[in-house]
A and B are shown apart, each in its own frame.
Chain A
Amino acid sequence: MENQKIINLDLINLAYAYGLILLAIALARLQRIGQEGEMLWASVRMVIQLFAVGYLLHLVFAVRSPLAVIAILLVMSGFSLQVMGSRIKRKMPDFYRVMGTSLFIGCGGVTFLLCGLVIGYSPWYDPRYLIPLAGMIIGNSMNGASLAAERLSAEIYERREEIETALCLGATARQASETAVRLAFRAALMPTMNTMAAMGIVSLPGMMTGQILSGTEPIVAVRYQIAIMCAITGAVAITSFLILLQGYQRYFNNAHQLKDEN
């Protein structure tokens, strides 16, 4: 197979593609949506961010040092924590500690399994594998984690009566918040489940199409896609589970009392 035969895009090619954004802006102007400025700014940001990340990755690929790869992964995780922190309005107590440890264990453990056992490349820090795979795992776990945290606090807030009734009847904090935790866990897993069910029929996943574009045999690309989907599901489940396990306790004190303000 003549594998590495991908066509490079030069800036002229990209300019043609960018023309489509200008077309979109023109249409927005025609319809008087009044958001042409924002569209332009978003597209410029996209281009700058991607070029920046491209050069950064280029650098990391060239250096091939485990420290550089780990630094990139840490920045990614930190950024995802920050995104979650700004997106979730009603935060549980110790929000960053709970979310941080859960993401770290869930994503770290699953990435380790996927890279070490399932794919088994070496060296372990090879950025060509570790960065995109960990990136996908972190990104999906972040979504699951924020759904879990958000739903948990909403459920506990809305089920205050139910929880206190259960406490009155002798329930422990864990028993009293069981329904809230269960619903939050289900909400966290829902998008991943839907993606899995629709995969291949409704949409061709991005990683698979990317691999096919760059010359990988579709059969091989499919296997990678299956492996990453399993990893994502596992990471989302472990991360959300850990968040809920630590999270529900934050709403109670040692005397099995539901704390006042949440």
Chain B
Amino acid sequence: MDKKLVTLRLERICVERPGRDGRKADILSDISFSAHCGEVTAIVGPSGGGKSSLLRLINRLSDPACGTVYLDGEDIALLDPLLLRRRVAMVPQKPFMFEGTVLTNLQRPFLYRHEPLPGAESAELLHSLELARLDQELIGRDSRTLSLGEQQRVSLARALITKPGVLLLDEPTSALDRPTGDQLAATIHDICRSQRLAIIIVTHDLRLAGRIADYLLFLEAGRIVEEGLPESILSRPQSPELRRFLSDPVKGEL
């Protein structure tokens, strides 16, 4: 494997949560995998399997109990979290719109860094709108009046505007209807290829994962049960867990 391609590497990650009786319960245990730039890595599994907790470790919204995350070879625990979050962007499951227009929402990252705010006509703003396939007309709209699909795209554009190297997506399509979700999935796929981003996507939607993932990890009860290329994994599941998950479309689609 070409070493230069490795952007992100998780090694023997575990996450604990204090249990009811004072003992610690594992949310995640012994998770190791790599994600490469220009590829979509999908983490699939039933709800409550620890997928979101895993994603939060990568931009240090929280820290693991053990294990290490490397970004381009550097242990992220040793990086300034604010600088790390510039390189590793995250789109949360529910798009949160700050009060104000789409424009002010897109300017947020610059505001936080005390950098000059890009105007509505600036190149970086237009570029991020284009990447997220957002209509330029929307820029002056009150962000809270947008449809959920549009908000999800604003959230995506806002994460991309500062040109991160890694993009984390938490159930990006779960709140959307199927056509809107499919369109967003296509957008994500294109962004990954054109921007050479390493994208990690967490989902319980097998259809989505099958469509856009270059590599797929199946996570259940905090462990990686199966991993590999989506074609082979989804057509020839080895483990009873994945077979059960595949045969239960309600769980897969929610």
Contacts and interface: CB of A to CB of B under 8 A. Distances in A.
Interface string A235-262: 0000000000000000000011110100
Contacts of A227: none
Interface string A154-180: 000000011011111111100100000
Nearest to A175: B112
Contacts of A167: 61, 85
Contacts, number: 54
B109 interface: yes
A255 B57 CA distance: 12
Interface stretch (B90-98, B132-140, B206-214, B222-230): B90-98
A170 B98 contact: no
- Determine the interface band of chain A, counting residues with CB < 8 A from chain B: 10 to 19
Contact of B113 (A162, A166, A168, A170): A170
B86 interface: yes
A175 B98 CA distance: 13
Interface in B141-167: 158-159, 162
A166 to B, nearest CB: 7
A169 B162 CA distance: 9
B96 A162 contact: yes
Contact of B112 (A164, A166, A260): A166
Nearest to B94: A161
B82 A165 contact: no
Nearest to B17: A260
Interface string B82-107: 10011001111010101000000000
B85 A170 contact: yes
A154 to B, nearest CB: 18
B162 A170 contact: yes
A167 B89 CA distance: 10
A165 B86 CA distance: 13
Contacts of A255: 60, 63, 81
Among B86, B94, B98, max chain A CB count under 10 A is at: B98
Interface of B: 59-63, 81-82, 85-86, 89-92, 94, 96, 98, 108-109, 112-113, 158-159, 162
23 contacts: A161-B92, A161-B94, A164-B61, A164-B92, A167-B85, A168-B90, A168-B92, A169-B85, A169-B108, A169-B158, A169-B159, A170-B86, A170-B109, A170-B113, A170-B162, A171-B108, A171-B112, A255-B60, A256-B81, A256-B82, A257-B81, A258-B61, A260-B62
